[in-house]
A and B are shown apart, each in its own frame.
Chain A
């Protein structure tokens, strides 16, 4: 068993034993409105890996913004709408470690004392972060057709610490012959977004994202990849504001472009 599989077992993710032929895709609200091309790339990657992808139109948001603001009732009702929108007993793949973390680690508690708690627990067990699913469940093999490029990786806090996804996205990038992955020494440090934190604690958040961008620049890579559009909106938005040329992209889009460009 490889170390990535061990890591997956450690976090309770599904073992590769059962390869599903159909999966749900939960796009996330941020991707839906601001980064739809990243979501579409995630779905296309899954399709190329040979699984049928279902995108339920009833989906909206995981409920994390309300939960993290202390509005549990509102969060629970929006979460319940997701339970309704994904009824089948098949994996739910999410192109965000943060939204996946909300659904996997917080839904059971969010529904405490609610008749829907068993449904929430079953739902949580079906949730997978996209890169972990591609590596651990589908075992995808990628062929790089792109020009040589140097990139660095930004893991979201929740992908690492709630979903236990650390090595999987890097394993995907290392499959690409023309991609050099350089490590950011401060990779594990939060970029400073934190939902309403960015607007409630503007000064601290700004200091954090500015330090994060500086650490990215220090790697010398011109491209920053991440599996979470929230972080990308923050780091990329700051780069744009200060006139830094670093390209900030979702890993799914990057992989699609290099491996399956039409």
Chain B
């Protein structure tokens, strides 16, 4: 499944993170929306895990479940396929998002489907599935309220769990009044929700097919687990005669018994709920004698660069992700700039490690640098993904790529894309000075004497002093002071 073109090319080209950030930072409404939302989510999550020992034990179990599944990934995927097939679910494999789109389109066309109702799915965002279907005359309507709102607005999700979190009530009121025929502008949340419900109920009833994502795919039983709060996931997967689920290959877990710890972690980490309103466990199409459910169920398993991530033992931890978004909810960078600044399907800390691996370091090599490495993400990750370490690893791959021994390809697509001779020279010089105590003392003394004459407009200093005073070198270094005060240089024998 390894491929150079595992993901749509060049998707992330265009202005880089640092150039896009000021737009968001200069939008006070957007910053208030995110700050308020993230503060709320952090507080709700914290309330779900009052006991640090319980949290530590639970996330250990969650991490272990996902790590074990990944360790046996090829085998589990085969078992999943066999079990699903036995259950009457048709399984399809897609190496690229283009292939996945073609598969979904083919299924819909063969069924003569013209309208699709969709449950929330980040993989379908990765595929740009709606646009693909539209180009072929099939209308897909998002049924998750947040997704529905951004579809009306012609936008992309700014958060993987709460896709329209960047909008406040007033903005949604305006949008609904403009886009929903016959709706008077209202600021009442219940009325707004009711309006969306009226539109969507009709869509559910008339859709030729439903498309959804998958939270966990159980190899042991061939069960597709889908959690949600609005009931739209259940309607999308049970009301239309045809259900197509799309998911990444990393969503497989081994046993049904692996689900409880993950369910105990995911909603609490995501929205601070003890459990979601709906937990759907889909085990196949309608059976003879059953009165409801789709008559055909398909699962499309997408690679799109994931098997390449899987090749590296350290980077493979990325695939443990259960898409709870706790990392972005707790990220001081995400909170300030919001999801759209990342210009990627997956924003925030998880996106900063996932996007460069799926799309390559040429397209997204700047993303791992959009972090202070504050570790807030790692602290709350329910499956213990060492995000800061992987950010640093990707920074390294961007300047000093390592190779996969078997293929001689860079471990990460476009490894070395951020290489710069200037930067390499700076670090070579740094190493020269900092490994030679005598030279180091000469250089630091020279800086103590003349460092403050470095002009504020010098490289690096220019960016630093935009918002801060120049750091001041002191006339005597700590080395000098320690010696003057009689501190020993070595342990006496």
Contact = CB atoms under 8 A, between A and B. Distances in A.
A, B: real partners = yes
Interface of A: 22, 24-25, 27, 29, 31-37, 39-40, 43-44, 52-61, 63, 65-74, 77-78, 80-81, 85, 88, 90, 109, 157-158, 161-162, 188-190, 192-211, 233-234, 236-238, 240-241
Interface of B, helix, strand, loop or mixed by DSSP: helix
B424 to A, nearest CB: 8
B434 interface: yes
B430 interface: yes
Nearest to B336: A207
Nearest to B389: A109
- The bracket for how many chain B residues form the interface is 35 or more
6 contacts: A33-B477, A34-B471, A40-B478, A55-B487, A80-B435, A204-B337
A97 B440 CA distance: 23
B190 interface: no
Given A44-B485, A188-B376, A199-B464, 14 more contacts: A32-B478, A34-B473, A35-B474, A55-B487, A60-B433, A60-B437, A69-B427, A81-B437, A161-B378, A202-B463, A207-B25, A208-B372, A237-B471, A241-B469
Nearest to A24: B491
Nearest to B418: A70
Given A203-B18, A241-B468, A68 B373 contact: yes
B371 interface: yes
Contacts of B433: 60
* Most chain A CB within a 10 A radius of its CB, from B398, B467, B470: B467
A66 B427 contact: yes
Nearest to A62: B434
Interface in B460-493: 460, 463-474, 476-483, 485, 487-491
A210 B396 CA distance: 30
Contacts of A199: 460, 463-464
* Most chain B CB within a 10 A radius of its CB, from A59, A190, A192, A238: A190
A211 B22 CA distance: 15
Given A32-B477, A194-B374, A206 B395 contact: no
Contact of A70 (B398, B471, B483): B398
Given A192-B332, A237-B471, A240-B469, A55 B395 contact: no
* Most chain B CB within a 10 A radius of its CB, from A33, A55, A188: A33
B428 A40 contact: no
Contacts of B444: 29, 32-33
Q: List the 4 closest pairs (A to B, CB-CB), nearest first.
A: A194-B372, A237-B468, A70-B395, A70-B396
Contacts of B491: 22, 24, 54, 88, 90
A233 B463 contact: no
Contacts of A208: 332-333, 336, 372
A25 B476 CA distance: 18
* Most chain B CB within a 10 A radius of its CB, from A60, A198, A199: A60
B399 interface: yes
A80 to B, nearest CB: 7
B379 interface: yes
Contacts of A205: 372, 467
Given A60-B440, A71-B427, A209-B467, A190 B478 contact: no
A57 B489 contact: yes
Nearest to A211: B336
A194 B463 CA distance: 14
B371 A197 contact: yes
Interface in B236-293: none
B435 A77 contact: yes
A206 B25 CA distance: 10
A253 to B, nearest CB: 12
B430 A65 contact: yes
A238 B468 contact: yes
Interface string B164-201: 00000000000000000000000000000000000000
Nearest to A52: B488
Contacts of A33: 444, 447-448, 451, 473-474, 477
A33 B376 CA distance: 29
Contact of A67 (B378, B392, B489): B392
Contacts of B85: none
B431 interface: yes
A157 B375 CA distance: 7
A190 B467 contact: no
B238 to A, nearest CB: 43
Contacts of B105: none
A68 B489 contact: no
Interface string B44-78: 00000000000000000000000000000000000
B21 interface: yes
B441 interface: yes
A4 B472 CA distance: 35
* Most chain B CB within a 10 A radius of its CB, from A59, A69, A193: A69
* Most chain B CB within a 10 A radius of its CB, from A78, A234, A240: A78
A195 B460 CA distance: 11
A233 B488 contact: no
Contact of A157 (B376, B437, B472): B376
B374 A74 contact: no
A70 B482 contact: no
Contacts of A85: 437
A81 B467 contact: no
A37 B484 CA distance: 13
B369 interface: yes
Contact of B17 (A34, A61, A68, A201): A201
Contacts of B399: 69-71
Contacts of B321: none
Contacts of B323: none
Contacts of A161: 374-376, 378-379
A56 B490 contact: yes
